Amino acid sequence: MRNKILREVENDMKRSVEATRHELLRIRTGRASPALLENIKVEYYGNPTPIAQVAAINVQEGRTLVIKPWDNTIVKSIEKAILQSNLGITPQNDGNVIRLNFPSLTVERRKQLTNIVKEIVEKGRVAIRNIRRDYISKAREREKAGEISEDDRYRLEDDIQEVTDKFIEELDRISEEKEKEIMEF
């Protein structure tokens, strides 16, 4: 039973780390990345559709995203969706292809972005600590119900704390990498 609980804790914490990592992908670092367009939807035959499903997205020269729609009739729709997003970049439309040029970031903007990274990672840490709290309280409830002994509960709490420490360290590593990426590029 202890191993099952630890697997559940680990799976929940992994999901939390992945959600944090996914959110960090959307932060613009001065480097062009198709992940920046992930949440932008285009009206395509009356349905909101992700840009990646209606166009090929390529990175050119590190700072330019090239969006080549498979259907040229939606070029204007893609351009409109990008303008309405909070990306902060004006698309260049030549009728067939849309280009997004990412300017270099100022030092001030880089510092703002590192603060945003820290906030996102802290939310991830809080989520992991909440998972730890929930599973420790479940262990205490099981002890009160007589399902596990006091010694087993203490061992389980120690194991849950070890898993928590492992995932907090992973979040710290992810944060350092992202901050380094922002400050260097």
The CATH number of whichever domain residue 179 belongs to comes to 1.10.132.20
Residue span of the structural domain in which 68 resides = 34-101
Q: What is the C-alpha to C-alpha distance for residues 121 and 174, in angstroms, rounded to an integer?
A: 8
CATH number of the domain within which 69 lies: 3.30.1360.40
- Report residue 185's pLDDT band, with 50, 70 and 90 as the boundaries: low
Q: Give me the long-range contacts of 108-113 (CB less than 8 A, separation at least 24).
A: 110/182, 110/183, 113/27, 113/28, 113/29, 113/182
- Residue 174, pLDDT above cutoff 90: yes
The DSSP code for 58 is: E
**In this structure, are 19 and 40 located in the same domain?**
no
Under a CB-based contact definition with an 8 Å cutoff, are residues 129 and 121 in contact?
Answer: no
* pLDDT digit string, tens, across residues 17-34: 999 998 888 776 767 778
Statement to judge: residues 127 and 179 lie in one domain: yes
Residues 47 and 19 in one domain: no
